[in-house]
């Protein structure tokens, strides 16, 4: 029984008919035979599927009907036949036109067919629809073109793919990176692990800060934005993560911070406003470092000018919290130890209320709302008086 | 009326306290608080961010406007620091484990309309303060 069947099938397999069946069963490829001039001589099911024409509609027509009119004007169909004849084969990719006028991206292999004497009898053309591949290539080229390092990570934390930017920021090739642990390339692997695990848990993370380490040791600060990606059934298969190099941003932030520190540390001038009276207009915030500077300068100037009174103006201090108040009280105490007195001026109503709410006791300190009022207090302490010039003095 | 504002800011350095004050001032002014209330809110934020910096090292300040029947500003200060051993005691004037005046927490409570302190030893502290806008 078996032998009989085998024999039967073998006899079919060896025939031209079987070859016909083979060619026809290949639905994904258009397998076309052209005569020496490029006219269609045979047509398979795959050709009908890809190009639309039925066999009886296309046999005998020139294969240039698969090309756009521009390509035909450029002589592309003839050129491919010439190249195939010269080189023994010719493979190329390009747009091809269907019967209904729509087009698709095709990969074509054109081979000359020779008889036993070596005479050209026609061409075999095998064409495949490469649209999907082209789309994938296009997406890939976008990914590669991205300046942001991109990476995909499997649930076990292994890298499954990277782009060129990731290669350059890590200093390692794609081949080296794929299959290794994502966490290995960061200064803080644990934080990196927490990062991608958070993505698997919460589907996405935004602006996750990490530091990438280059093979040469150089560290780049990045922010990761990542989300999970799913297969056709909606199951999570991995994490897609995009890093943004924030070195520049960090530098400028650092520069701004540096500048604002410099502004904060601008020296506070201690001015002698009268014989025996110095004044300090405080501007900005009073942190411990600045208070220290200001206190030293004030004490020095009090001794230097032998001033019994110091006016400390806080009009330009936006906020006085308990620490600022503490700094002020300490300064005032230090001035008193030198035998001088402080008049606190420029106390704004809002600040006064806040100080009361905070429970800060300034009852032992002379305060005035303005520097002018403070100066009067100072003059009074020095037993001085401001007298309006009499008329007699005019012209002296 | 329907001004929405919110934000957050990490507190890691002393300079961040200055930046926090600035952000809170802007938020309070945007919501329409008067000069005195703005000063109160900013001072409270200054106290609590400084506490984060001094006691916990780092933490985060978040703020958002409240737009229910009452309009107001809520600020939340969160850290993973050592926690406050006795919250009730810490709310008493003059109590301080550091070398501060011991006025920060009780003072902040007086500056604001509402204040909740949640603290767990070894885990951290979350303080929520609110100020309502009086029309």
Beta-carbon contacts of A74 under 8 Å, excluding residues fewer than 6 positions away, are none
Mutate to test the interface with B, among A319, A349, A350, A359 (most CBs of B within 10 A): A319
The 10s digit of each residue's pLDDT in A127-159 is 998 888 888 888 888 888 888 999 999 999 999
DSSP state of B56: I
Residues A19-47 have a mean pLDDT of: 87
Do the domain assignments include residue B106? yes
Instruction: Give residue ranges of B with CB < 8 Å to any A CB.
Output: 14-15, 17-18, 21, 25, 35-36, 38-40, 42-43, 46-47, 50, 93, 100-101, 103-104, 106-108, 110-111
Tokens of A134: 């082209």
Q: B107 and A349 in contact by Cβ < 8 A?
A: no
- How far A360 CA sits from the closest chain B CA (Å)? 8
Residues of B in contact with A260 (CB under 8 A): 15, 18
Give the structural domain span for B105.
Answer: 6-132
B103/A358 CB distance under 8 A: yes
Phi, psi of A372 (to 5 degrees): -60, -45
C-alpha atoms less than 13 angstroms from C-alpha of A24 in its C-beta half-sphere: 9
Contact A358 B110 (CB under 8 A): yes
Nearest to A281 by CA among A324, A310, A323, A320: A310
Angle in degrees, 0-180, between the axes of helices A322-337 and A349-358, rounded to the nearest 10: 90
Is some CB atom of chain B closer than 8 A to the CB atom of A362? Answer: no
Query: What does the mean pLDDT of chain A come to?
Result: 86
Tokens of A344: 């606190």
The predicted pLDDT at position A350 comes to 87
Q: Which of residues 239-268 of A touch B (CB under 8 A)?
A: 257, 260-261, 264
Residue A5 in this model has a pLDDT that exceeds 80? no
The shortest CB-CB distance from A357 to any of B15, B25, B40 is to: B40
Which pLDDT value is given to residue A167? 92
Tell me, yes or no, whether B1 lies in a domain.
no
- pLDDT value for B2: 46
CATH topology of domain A267-381: Transcription Regulator spoIIAA (3.30.750)
DSSP summary character for residue B90: H
CB contact under 8 A, A353 and B106: no
- Considering the four listed CATH numbers 3.40.50.970, 3.40.50.11540, 3.40.50.170, 3.30.450.20, the one that applies to the domain covering A146-250 is 3.30.450.20
Contacts of B108 in chain A (CB under 8 A): 358
Are the beta carbons of A236 and A154 closer than 8 angstroms?
A: no
Q: How confident is the model at residue A296 (pLDDT cuts 50, 70, 90)?
A: confident
CA A58/CA A48 separation, integer angstroms: 10
Per DSSP, the three-state class of A152 is strand
A360/B103 touch (CB, cutoff 8 Å), yes or no = yes
Is A325 touching B (CB cutoff 8 A)? yes
What are the phi and psi torsion angles at A120 (to 5°)? -70, 125
Per CB-CB distance under 8 Å, the chain B contacts of A350 are: 35-36, 38-40
Residues 6+ apart with CB under 8 A from B47: A321, A322, A358, B104, B105, B107, B108
Residues of chain B neighbouring A353 (CB-CB closer than 8 A): 36, 39-40
Whether A204 shows a pLDDT value over 80: the answer reads: yes
Q: Has residue B27 been placed in a domain?
A: yes
> What span, in angstroms and rounded, lies between the C-alpha atoms of A200 and A106?
39
* pLDDT for A2: 45
Q: Quote the CA–CA distance of A368 and A387 in Å, as a whole number.
A: 21
Residue in B closest to A320 by C-alpha: B43
The domain total for chain B is 1
Mean pLDDT of A350-363: 85
- Position A1 scores a pLDDT of 45
Nearest Cα residue to A32 out of A16, A19, A17, A48: A48
Q: For chain B, which ranges sit under pLDDT 70?
A: 1-4, 99, 135
Confidence label for A251 from pLDDT (cuts 50, 70 and 90): confident
**Identical fold, A10-130 and A267-381:** no
Q: What digits encode the pLDDT tens for the residues A318-336?
A: 888 888 888 888 889 999 9
Provide the shortest C-alpha distance from residue B130 to chain A (in Å).
Answer: 16
- Domain boundaries in chain A? 10-130, 146-250, 267-381
Band of the pLDDT at A223, cuts 50, 70, 90? very high
For residue range A142-201, list pLDDT tens digits in order.
888 888 999 999 999 999 999 999 999 999 998 899 999 999 999 999 999 999 999 999
Residue B23, domain CATH: 3.30.565.10
Q: Do B101 and A325 touch (CB under 8 A)?
A: yes
Residues of A within 8 A of B106 (CB-CB) are 359
CA dihedral B6, B10, B11, B14 (to 10 degrees): -90
Q: What is the mean pLDDT of residues A21-43?
A: 87
Contacts of B21 in chain A (CB under 8 A): 285, 318-319
Span A270-283, average pLDDT: 90
ipTM of the complex: 0.75
Residue A14: pLDDT above 60? no
Q: Do the beta carbons of residue A351 and residue B39 sit within 8 Å?
A: yes
Q: Do B100 and A260 touch (CB under 8 A)?
A: no
**What is the residue-wise DSSP string for A13-79?**
HTSHHHHHHHHHH--SEEEEEE-TTSBEEE--HHHHHHH---HHHHTTSBGGGGS-HHHHHTTHHHH
Mean pLDDT of the region A88-106: 90
Q: Does A347 touch chain B (CB under 8 A)?
A: no
DSSP letter assigned to residue B54: I
Superfamily holding A10-130: PAS domain (3.30.450.20)
Backbone angles phi, psi at A97, to 5 degrees: -105, 135
């Amino acid at each position: 029984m078996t032998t009989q069947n085998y024999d039967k099938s073998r006899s079919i397999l060896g025939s031209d008919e079987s070859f016909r069946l083979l060619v026809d069963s290949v639905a994904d490829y258009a397998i076309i035979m052209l005569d020496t001039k490029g006219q269609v001589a045979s047509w398979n099911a795959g050709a009908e599927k890809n190009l639309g024409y039925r066999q009886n509609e296309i046999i005998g027509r020139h294969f240039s009907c698969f090309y756009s009119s521009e390509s035909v004007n450029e002589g592309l169909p003839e050129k491919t036949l010439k190249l195939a004849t010269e080189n023994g084969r010719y493979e190329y990719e390009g747009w091809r036109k269907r019967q209904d006028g729509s087009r698709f991206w095709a990969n074509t292999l054109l081979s000359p067919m020779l008889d036993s004497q070596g005479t050209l009898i026609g061409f075999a053309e095998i064409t495949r629809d490469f649209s999907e591949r082209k789309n994938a290539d296009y997406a890939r080229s976008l990914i590669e073109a991205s300046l942001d390092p991109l990476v995909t990570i499997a649930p076990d934390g292994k890298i499954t793919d990277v782009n060129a930017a990731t290669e350059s920021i890590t200093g390692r090739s794609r081949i080296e990176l794929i299959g290794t642990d994502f966490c290995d390339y960061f200064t803080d692997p644990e934080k990196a692990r927490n990062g991608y695990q958070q993505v698997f848990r919460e589907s996405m993370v935004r602006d996750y800060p990490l530091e990438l380490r280059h093979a040469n040791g150089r560290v780049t600060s990045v922010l990761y934005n990542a989300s999970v990606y799913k297969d056709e059934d909606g199951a999570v298969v991995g994490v897609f993560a995009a890093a943004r190099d924030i070195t520049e941003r960090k530098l400028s932030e650092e520069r701004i911070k540096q500048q604002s520190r410099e502004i904060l540390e601008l020296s506070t001038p201690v001015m002698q406003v009268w014989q025996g009276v110095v004044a300090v207009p405080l501007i900005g915030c009073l942190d411990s470092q600045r208070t220290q500077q200001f206190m030293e300068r004030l004490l020095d100037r009090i001794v230097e000018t032998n001033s019994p009174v110091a006016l400390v103006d806080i009009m330009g201090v936006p906020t006085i919290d308990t620490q600022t108040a503490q700094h002020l009280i300490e300064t005032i105490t230090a001035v008193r130890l030198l035998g001088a007195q402080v008049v606190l001026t420029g106390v704004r109503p809002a600040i006064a209320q806040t100080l009361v709410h905070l429970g800060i006791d300034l009852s032992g300190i002379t305060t005035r709302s303005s520097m002018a009022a403070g100066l009067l207090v100072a003059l009074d302490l020095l037993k001085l008086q401001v007298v309006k010039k009499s008329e007699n003095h005019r012209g002296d | 009326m329907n001004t929405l504002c919110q934000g957050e800011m990490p507190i890691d350095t002393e300079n961040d306290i200055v930046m926090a004050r600035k952000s809170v001032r802007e938020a309070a002014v945007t919501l329409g608080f008067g000069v005195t209330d703005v000063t109160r809110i900013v001072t409270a934020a200054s106290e609590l961010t400084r506490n984060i910096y001094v006691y916990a090292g780092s933490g985060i300040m978040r703020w958002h406007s409240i737009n229910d029947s009452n309009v107001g500003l809520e600020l939340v200060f969160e850290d993973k620091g050592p926690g406050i051993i006795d919250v009730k005691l810490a709310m008493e004037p003059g109590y301080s484990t550091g070398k501060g005046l011991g006025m920060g927490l009780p003072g902040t409570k007086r500056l604001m309309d509402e204040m909740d302190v949640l603290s767990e030893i070894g885990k951290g502290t979350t303080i929520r303060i609110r100020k309502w806008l009086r029309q």
